Chain A
Amino acid sequence: MLEIEDLKTNFNTYDGVVKALNGVNLTIKDGEIFGLVGETGSGKSVTCYSALKLLPKTGEVVGGKIVLNGEDITHASEARLRQIRGGEIGIIFQDPLSALNPVMTVNEQIGEILVLHQDEEIKNLASEKEIPTYKSKKFQASPGVEFTILAFCISFISLFVMLGQFTFSLPFLFLIGMMFLRNYLQRDLPHSALDLMVIDALSRVKLPNPEQIASSYPHELSGGMQQRVMIAMALAGKAKMLIADEPTTALDVTIQAQILQLIKDIQREENMSVLLITHDLGVVAETCEKVAVMYEGKIIEEASVDQIFKNPQHEYTKALIEAIPKGGKERLKVPDIGEPGAI
């Protein structure tokens, strides 16, 4: 599915060049959950951002090859990359609230992705069911505008009533009446094809009441629901691969278990490949089939999950496993490592 060969990424800073990646080799097969573990500053996130060319301006891929489904995308054009991001590879970020746009409803945000990547299917669905393609009256209701009109009318009515000229207020009363009549007549209008696909995307991640969630803003949802919306967004473009960058770090353990179960279920149902980036070895053990440990921009050990915990080969992996507190009261062994990030 995705092959990364000898990837090197540098960051140019005022203090010199930071070599964030020093030759990363990764192969993620079809239908595999692959875990990438490491501490802060080890380059796990940079690997995924480099693969999708999402680096900030100071960052630059200086060597290596990225192959997606046999196609070399190392020097792909921006237009092609846009098709890949969201269309072939979906991404989930750590903090759902900062990754979702606070001033757009869930419906608008998922709709954006669908229009970009699933335009033909929306049009097919619309012509098949004879419903509007993009816009429906259903979600178009803007309470702000309606409230303004209402306040405007009421103030004029009260003004004229106070002046004793009740007849002048009749047109405004008529306007209010028309507004309510419009809402009443439109209550049963069909969804547009886009709305139907948004609702479908939301129900794929087992969200209850998808119509209500589609019309709500991100802050109105709980953390677990927000992360489910993020997953729905990542999957909306029918991506065959999912990159999850610390998807459960901001969540409680019980919610984390739900979200990991959901990722596993969806992976199995749709036979996707998943690249799970995390710092929690426990999450990897429970979710992934294969795992790679990163340290200072290199992959120092790669093995199946069973092997890496039973028989870690590299000293750093051993130290990382030993640093996790366990039941006993013996002193924790601290890994004998350099300052993270000082490269």
Chain B
Amino acid sequence: MSSKRQDNNDVENPSQVTNIYISDSVINRSNIGNKIETTTESKPKEDVPSDYKKYKGKVLKIKKLRKHFPVKNVWGKNIALVKALDGVDLEIEGGKTFGIVGESGCGKTTLMRTLLRLVEPTSGSVLLSDEITNNKFSSNKLEELTSEELRNFRKQIGVVFQDPMGALNPRMLIKDIVSEPLSIHGKTEGIREKVIWLLNNVGLGEEHLYRYPHEFSGGQRQRIVIARALALDPKILVLDEPTSALDVSVQAQILNLLNDLQKKYDLTYVFISHDLSVIEYMCDRLAVMYLGRVVEEADTEDLFSNPQHPYTRALLSATPSFEKQKEKIMILGDVPSPIVYLDESKAKLATEITEQERLEIKAIEGKGIEYIVRSSLNEHLSLKEVAPSHYARVK
């Protein structure tokens, strides 16, 4: 109960928080900013309901999740599988930020889609906690929910995609974009107030209601997407590379906004990115994915100070930084194809050094650069606990 009262306090006194965004986003950004400031301060916010509840523990448990896409030949016969997810085990804690890193094609986005059941997993399950099911669902397994329950479940998860312009309909007004989830889920009254409240929450204001997406800058568009994702008071927010299309200064604004929203509403974030500096800043716990498997999972500080898997080490050292001259570990060779042929005599993932890798080794020979050959990562090892709550696929 006390926590609820605290939330209400937050809502009653939003000017403090919203002012922070405004001071971030629109200092010197001419007249638009001033307008926001005046409107947000004059707007009372108490009437907007908020049933955010503080909760602890694991909200989602992913068990041995697999998603294999079939590859067909001309006659429609399955000849191979793309193992986009190949046995992923994760536990996502409430109120924290869980990061997923990996290069393109490693299965980050497929994992996100399977979490929302936008694609059906081949096997494995996603277990939902009581906070999400509210003990109203027939099962706590995501794949066993009926379509009605699935609709209720999707209310609890908001999604923010990478490219805001692609995620916003260019022919819809901001008012319609942000209120669409509300009307889909049967809310008829107080929509306008709720939309204004949502826009204020992300540092925009009432005067933006009747505009189209193309009239906004990249950072503002991303704010609109975040406002829409928050429309149904979700408990979990899935962020798929939310800042990779933005400049560093705008990225800093969005990250600050996300941190503030998390503190205010105790949201759980699933943060997908390939930018390690962003991940290090945002996340509490982190999973590194490679070819559809989690190769290392640990608390962020642990993972950055003591990386165990060779791929993680290479990834950390490949991130360009200007702070300190760290030892360089180059990763040689091209990303292998995740296609696995059913016919075993056909191409298998090479575990020996390939032609390109031999060339690249020759090129950096004698320069004192440490290197990892990519084909050596193709060996399948099991996940081990190398330190308390630090798992890695190492020998």
> For residues 191 through 220 of chain B, which have their beta carbon under 8 Å from a beta carbon of chain A?
217-218
User: Which residue in chain A gives the minimum CB-CB distance to B28?
Assistant: A338
Q: Contact: A340 with B253, CB < 8 Å?
A: no
Q: 1/0 contact trace for A299-343 toward B, CB 8 Å?
A: 000000100010000000001110111111101111111111010
Q: Contact: A261 with B251, CB < 8 Å?
A: no
Contacts of B79 in A (CB 8 A): none
Binds A, one of B170-178, B222-230, B327-335: B327-335
How would you classify the secondary structure of chain B's contact residues: helix, strand, loop or mixed? helix
Contacts of A326 in B (CB 8 A): 277, 280-281, 323
Q: Contact: B322 with A309, CB < 8 Å?
A: yes
Say yes or no: A325-B28 contact (C-beta < 8 A), given A258-B360, A332-B252, A340-B247. no
User: Which residue in chain A gives the minimum CB-CB distance to B26?
Assistant: A339
Say yes or no: A333-B318 contact (C-beta < 8 A), given A279-B247, A338-B29, A338-B30. no
Q: 1/0 contact trace for A262-299 toward B, CB 8 Å?
A: 10010000000000000111111110000000000000
What is the interface residue range for chain A against chain B? 35 or more
Q: Does A40 contact B (CB under 8 A)?
A: yes
Q: Contact: A208 with B359, CB < 8 Å?
A: yes
B65 to chain A, nearest CB (A): 23
A328 to B280, CA, bound (A): 8
Q: Does A23 contact B (CB under 8 A)?
A: no
B1 to chain A, nearest CB (A): 29
Q: Contact: A257 with B330, CB < 8 Å?
A: yes
Chain A CB count within 10 A is highest, among B248, B323, B355, B356, for B248
Q: Does A142 contact B (CB under 8 A)?
A: no
Contacts of B276 in A (CB 8 A): 253
Say yes or no: A283-B320 contact (C-beta < 8 A), given A208-B355, A253-B103. yes
- Per the CB 8 Å criterion, the residue count for chain B at the interface is 51
Say yes or no: A206-B360 contact (C-beta < 8 A), given A257-B318, A334-B256, A336-B28. yes
A342 to B31, CA, bound (A): 13
User: Which residue in chain A gives the minimum CB-CB distance to B246?
Assistant: A40
Q: Contact: A252 with B103, CB < 8 Å?
A: yes
Contacts of B29 in A (CB 8 A): 338-339
A207 to B360, CA, bound (A): 9
Q: Which of A225, A257, A279 contacts B248 (CB 8 A)?
A: A279
Q: Does B104 contact A (CB under 8 A)?
A: yes
Residues in B lying within 8 Å of A, measured CB to CB: 24-25, 27-30, 103-104, 217-218, 247-249, 251-253, 255-256, 259, 274, 276-278, 280-282, 301, 304, 314-315, 318-323, 328, 330-332, 334-335, 354-356, 358-360, 363-364, 369
In the complex, 23 of the A-B residue pairs with CB atoms within 8 angstroms, ordered by the A residue number, are A208-B355, A224-B334, A253-B274, A253-B315, A253-B319, A257-B328, A257-B330, A258-B331, A262-B363, A279-B248, A282-B319, A282-B321, A283-B320, A286-B321, A305-B322, A325-B252, A326-B277, A327-B280, A327-B304, A334-B25, A338-B28, A338-B30, A340-B247
Residues in A lying within 8 Å of B, measured CB to CB: 39-40, 206-209, 222-225, 252-258, 260-262, 265, 279-286, 305, 309, 319-321, 323-329, 331-340, 342
